[in-house]
Amino acid sequence: MQPFTTPSEDIRQREACSLQSMGHAVEFSPAGKAEAEGLFLRYPVRRAALLPILWIAQREFGWISREAIEYVARLCELPPSQVYAVVSFYTMYNRSPKGKYHLQLCTNLSCQLRGSEHILDCLRRELGLELGQTTPDALFSLDEVECLGACEMAPMLQLNQEFVGPLTPESARALVERLRREAK
């Protein structure tokens, strides 16, 4: 029998559990507070509004930090550990700052069978990034996701909230070039 491996001994587990700090308290804008209160009225208990409240937090703060989790936990009357469990389960919630263009490449079976590894190689070269990294100018972030549920578009990626595919290395390169031009 293998001995239990603590998170401090396995770098992959440490990274999966990591949670960054903004270094200051956070609070929704007046519009965000009003939206949250409207959501709380639609659900029988405050905790039921957790997912849409997290969307508000990500939209307002850019990502879900330790402080955002604590704030949302207070709003939803939940322990922070339960909010963190949700944030760490879903890939749609970012636990670190992301670039203006967040590219999330699907690497599940349908996309793999249609060549997602070639798209990943192309994006790594074009952006000079590895998975989980953001360009120094904060323009691009590159991540891998398990499945985006759009197999008919394989191989594909999600650009911020938009699905893009089917991709070829050439169309992936053209996408990066177009986004760079738009950013100027």
What domain count does the chain have?
2
Q: How confident is the model at residue 161 (pLDDT cuts 50, 70, 90)?
A: confident
Q: How confident is the model at residue 18 (pLDDT cuts 50, 70, 90)?
A: low
The pLDDT value recorded for residue 177 is 98
In a domain, 136, yes or no: yes
The arithmetic mean of pLDDT across residues 134-156, rounded, is 94
Q: How confident is the model at residue 136 (pLDDT cuts 50, 70, 90)?
A: very high
Residue range of the domain that includes 149: 101-183
Same domain, 80 and 51: yes
Question: For the residues of the chain, what is the DSSP string, one character each?
Answer: -PPPPPGGG-HHHHHHH-----SS-----HHHHHHHHHHHHHSSSGGGGHHHHHHHHHHHHSS--HHHHHHHHHHHT--HHHHHHHHHH-TTS-SS---SEEEEEE-SHHHHHTTHHHHHHHHHHHHT--TTEE-TTSSEEEEEES--S-GGG-S-EEETTEEE-S--HHHHHHHHHHHHHHH-
